[in-house]
Structure 1
């Protein structure tokens, strides 16, 4: 029995030594490949991803303690197979190095890029197998010390050591360790701005590590990496480091691939921060970002409201670049997608973003505006104002602003609006809107009054004039009173409107009452009211209404102070009868 036991022990020791030898061979092969790969000049980012995976594999294998196991045969077979496959992967990657040095392609760049992707995917599989073998208990993995997070007020050195330790875990840890490290990194980045500067300036290839994590098949790791990059992108001084570090291409790949909505939302937020004020717009467009973002809006049911909102915000930043805006309109098909989004059952937040983006596209040039209008945008925006459709005041305000940007510069557009009962909608919100919404409606009415005589007639027929008088009388804001008074004065330039206005005695009486001397010099609103009376005094009926009002003496007081329009009105009223009424206070 002793001889059999000794023989078994000797065999176990021999197997352990063989396993140690194969493990050492695999580790040496990985080290050699990593060194050789730095000479590759083509596809440096893909090579960085391959090196990252080999580094993780090397760290995982080096962390293993080789000891005899009770299930030696099964464990030996699984681990031996993994080591053999790792060496094969090293050999395949090594064959790609000379092809990546620019001397010859061996099938072209597309083939080379595809081969690098295959190697990276194969290494992901090997990493997963290693985690499975370790999780089964067949192998013993050394336990690394866990560095605790520094307390508030810790020295810069302590914080630097902690952040570098987190990145070490991100580089070489297994899936669970990387998840924990990424979550911890996000926590410190959000809590302490100086950690952002440390990642960018003090951690070797810190940006590169985070960019590499964007290719992780683990959704949790990918989302945590996107969160970390988003925090860094929120600092203007660090945006350039992210772009130079190659973050844009993998972020756009997240939008294009089958990543979950959570990852895509994070990716869109990253692009939104990177493209504020049209910064980095060309880099996003060059990597297919415009098409990816438009596709998200097109499939809004699957994308969800938050993702569509984020995509629209990025597109709104990109539209500031003329060439990108033209591509968006002519080639990417953004306009019909956005109009469909506005007309469909999408969430209100997404529809608001679509309205703002359409207005931004149309503001660029006349050809873009025409494309936007031809898709029925004006009618869709008017429909958004329908009081019978439940919408928030915010949505209606945005619709009014978008109509202002889109339609008021073109007579054809005004005809579209009037045909879509836009005047009725504006009048409704002048009467019933909250303060902000009423102000937006008043701005629309003010713009409409300066378009054409036909528009003024339509507004007079719709009943705008009494509402404008009421606003001048009731509004607390000087700007609001002035805007309403100016719109009223513009409408009085049309004979039909004057005739309609004086039919109600209250209209003229209210204007004269508002001329009360409550200040030394007439306010702008009062000057527009005087202009309105100048128009009314052109007709006999208007003059009679003015003279019969109990507030006509307000004109006398203004004329005494040599207000030109007040004297002009009195002169039109004229004659000895009026002079007697005013007691001959001044001579004409």
Structure 2
């Protein structure tokens, strides 16, 4: 835009102001201010000063646009005329800056910009006083109609600015209407969130202020919904945090007497804000940890509120110092309680949080046993998803705390009996999780492997070698190989002749069996049981299959062939002695 074009727009706008009989002075003034705002974007000098002036002009425009049209007070007319004069000064400064000749010098131009900024501050202050006196009021209805789906960005921006003005200076009912209208468009069109956060002065800050609107839970509820809508976008989260949204959101969680839906929206906003780990400390610093743990322990909390609270705690637990503080504040007991929740999502989140805070680092014996007991109890009445997550948690606990004490407590708590039931009739995903957990547990001690044999795992593991799921077959073979390392369990296995036959049959390459490596490992272990087993293996005709496996670098196959060869040589020697 050239200086001549700017000058023409100024002259056209001035002509409009000279015709109050056709268009109200206030409406003309709003149009003129918006024109001035648009013209400032092309300026390349004093950009920071123009940005400050532009913010003041936006505030002024939205405040004037929201006013009641019926006001004709001389005081108002005097204010509008003063504003018009200042806007005229600003327009002339736009022309001078666009020309870049800096008529009168840059120092004088800088001083003139400061003067205009100060005058705008004065006008805004006088306008607030006029509203406070009741001479001028916000319209009782939303004057501007909502832009249609194909509206331009400028139309949307003007609409949002009008709503923000009503949030700032309207009465209670007007603020509620404005919040309701704002939430409606935020839900339906993503453009509104960006314009509110980035392009409208104090847009986000106005919402944050209303989160603490004393005595009006309905306004806080609507404000929390709007904040949550903005928090859905990663690019706008920083604006909310900078505006100080975290502290009032946490205070909403702590407020008694407020509707539960307000707390749900506040917790939802916090959950989205803490998806960025940089905000975890802000939640902790403002007392968020005790408030969130209280929600998890409170039986009056709704399932949705608990879910959001767990989501926040899961995010902030990634910070080691906060995790330790959570444990100090009673997180383990709160999460153990959640593992018994009737809501599946809350139950699963409770298990995952236990894994996050209790399965890492040193825990007292009572705390560890309490966690293990809670996880085992989920296997009785939890949903398939909850059982699967609980089994994964037990597996992880066995990895992070591979002690005999953990294994012994799981055996005493009845874990093996429950896992066996799941292997017999559980869903595939649950079977896989159970197999992983028992296999991991079995590697902890020989006592656990003996207990698995006593509990009746061997027939189930053999049966699962031919399951439909490849993962189940593979893990069953791995678990069986581990169990058979115990002499007592080998005796149980060979006692049922069909068990060995099934293993040998599955070595056939045409069989879609489990990973051959684990099957061969089980056979290697069985050869330690005696010559009878070795003879049966050698006589089964599987040596050819073993040789093919050995060619593919399966170490266990080479080892088994060597054992069988040794056995055959000794048999031949003894046969010669006996025949002589």
Q: TM-score, normalised by structure 2?
A: 0.70
Cross-structure match for 2:450: 457
Unaligned runs of 5+ in 1: 1-55, 68-125, 580-588
Cross-structure match for 2:245: 247
Query: How far, CA to CA, are the matches of 1:144 and 1:475 in structure 2?
Result: 66
Query: How far, CA to CA, are the matches of 1:578 and 1:63 in structure 2?
Result: 114
Query: How far, CA to CA, are the matches of 1:414 and 1:458 in structure 2?
Result: 11
Query: Could you tell me whether the CA contact under 8 Å between 1:230 and 1:270 is conserved in 2?
Result: yes
Q: Any idea what the Cα deviations from partners look like across 1:432-480, whole Å, max 9, x if unmatched?
A: 1011111111111221221111111111111212222222212332x33
Cross-structure match for 1:13: none
Q: Any idea what the Cα deviations from partners look like across 1:346-399, whole Å, max 9, x if unmatched?
A: 5443332222111110243124x756315x12112211212xx4x311121122
Query: How far, CA to CA, are the matches of 1:373 and 1:417 in structure 2?
Result: 11
Q: Any idea what the Cα deviations from partners look like across 1:529-586, whole Å, max 9, x if unmatched?
A: 111111111222652673497xx1123333266451442343254248799xxxxxxx
Cross-structure match for 1:237: 235
Three-state SS of the structure 2 residue aligned to 1:473 is coil
Cross-structure match for 1:18: none
Query: Could you tell me whether the CA contact under 8 Å between 1:468 and 1:484 is conserved in 2?
Result: yes
Alignment of 1:50-129 (within 5 A): none
Q: Any idea what the Cα deviations from partners look like across 1:289-324, whole Å, max 9, x if unmatched?
A: 00111111222x111222122212211111111111
Three-state SS of the structure 2 residue aligned to 1:212 is helix
Query: How far, CA to CA, are the matches of 2:210 and 2:306 in structure 1?
Result: 24
Cross-structure match for 1:365: 361
Deviation at 1:486, TM superposition (A): 1.5
Cross-structure match for 2:517: 527
Q: How many residues align?
A: 445
Query: Could you tell me whether the CA contact under 8 Å between 1:252 and 1:267 is conserved in 2?
Result: yes
Deviation at 1:176, TM superposition (A): 2.6
Query: Could you tell me whether the CA contact under 8 Å between 2:138 and 2:166 is conserved in 1?
Result: no
Deviation at 1:481, TM superposition (A): 2.4
> Quick check: 245-254 or 229-238, which moved more?
229-238
Query: How far, CA to CA, are the matches of 2:513 and 2:139 in structure 1?
Result: 83
Cross-structure match for 1:288: 287
Of 168, 190, 194 in structure 1, the residue corresponding to residue 191 of structure 2 is: 194
Query: How far, CA to CA, are the matches of 2:288 and 2:568 in structure 1?
Result: 71
Residues 222 and 572 (structure 1 numbering): CA distance in 2 closer, same or farther, change over 3 Å? farther
Unaligned runs of 5+ in 2: 1-61, 74-130, 551-556, 574-580
Query: How far, CA to CA, are the matches of 1:148 and 1:57 in structure 2?
Result: 17
Cross-structure match for 1:179: 176
Cross-structure match for 1:536: 526
Residues 270 and 419 (structure 1 numbering): CA distance in 2 closer, same or farther, change over 3 Å? same
Residues 238 and 542 (structure 1 numbering): CA distance in 2 closer, same or farther, change over 3 Å? farther
Cross-structure match for 1:498: 490
Deviation at 1:226, TM superposition (A): 1.2
Query: How far, CA to CA, are the matches of 2:448 and 2:415 in structure 1?
Result: 12
Cross-structure match for 2:152: 155
Query: How far, CA to CA, are the matches of 2:465 and 2:563 in structure 1?
Result: 20
Residues 342 and 283 (structure 1 numbering): CA distance in 2 closer, same or farther, change over 3 Å? same
Query: Could you tell me whether the CA contact under 8 Å between 1:64 and 1:141 is conserved in 2?
Result: no
Of 377, 391, 408 in structure 2, the residue corresponding to residue 415 of structure 1 is: 408
Q: Any idea what the Cα deviations from partners look like across 1:257-290, whole Å, max 9, x if unmatched?
A: 1222111111111111111153311100110000
Of 383, 394, 400 in structure 2, the residue corresponding to residue 403 of structure 1 is: 394
Query: How far, CA to CA, are the matches of 1:200 and 1:142 in structure 2?
Result: 25
Alignment of 1:416-565 (within 5 A): 416-477=409-470, 479-518=471-510, 525-540=515-530, 543=533, 546-547=536-537, 552-559=540-547, 562=550, 563-565=557-559
Q: Any idea what the Cα deviations from partners look like across 1:190-223, whole Å, max 9, x if unmatched?
A: 2222221111111101111000111123333222
Query: How far, CA to CA, are the matches of 2:153 and 2:64 in structure 1?
Result: 31
Residues 294 and 140 (structure 1 numbering): CA distance in 2 closer, same or farther, change over 3 Å? closer
Q: Any idea what the Cα deviations from partners look like across 1:18-75, whole Å, max 9, x if unmatched?
A: xxxxxxxxxxxxxxxxxxxxxxxxxxxxxxxxxxxxxx999999888699xxxxxxxx
Three-state SS of the structure 1 residue aligned to 2:379 is coil
Deviation at 1:485, TM superposition (A): 1.4
Cross-structure match for 1:273: 272
> Quick check: 428-437 or 555-564, which moved more?
555-564
Query: How far, CA to CA, are the matches of 1:59 and 1:163 in structure 2?
Result: 12
TM-align CA RMSD: 3.3
Residues 64 and 357 (structure 1 numbering): CA distance in 2 closer, same or farther, change over 3 Å? farther
Three-state SS of the structure 1 residue aligned to 2:337 is helix
Query: How far, CA to CA, are the matches of 1:347 and 1:141 in structure 2?
Result: 46
Query: Could you tell me whether the CA contact under 8 Å between 1:272 and 1:314 is conserved in 2?
Result: yes
Query: Could you tell me whether the CA contact under 8 Å between 1:230 and 1:269 is conserved in 2?
Result: yes
Q: Is the aligned partner of 1:394 residue 2:389?
A: no
Residues 487 and 142 (structure 1 numbering): CA distance in 2 closer, same or farther, change over 3 Å? closer
Query: Could you tell me whether the CA contact under 8 Å between 1:423 and 1:462 is conserved in 2?
Result: yes
Residues 288 and 193 (structure 1 numbering): CA distance in 2 closer, same or farther, change over 3 Å? same
Query: Could you tell me whether the CA contact under 8 Å between 1:66 and 1:140 is conserved in 2?
Result: no
Residues 458 and 512 (structure 1 numbering): CA distance in 2 closer, same or farther, change over 3 Å? same
Residues 144 and 267 (structure 1 numbering): CA distance in 2 closer, same or farther, change over 3 Å? closer
Query: Could you tell me whether the CA contact under 8 Å between 2:185 and 2:192 is conserved in 1?
Result: yes
Residues 515 and 561 (structure 1 numbering): CA distance in 2 closer, same or farther, change over 3 Å? closer
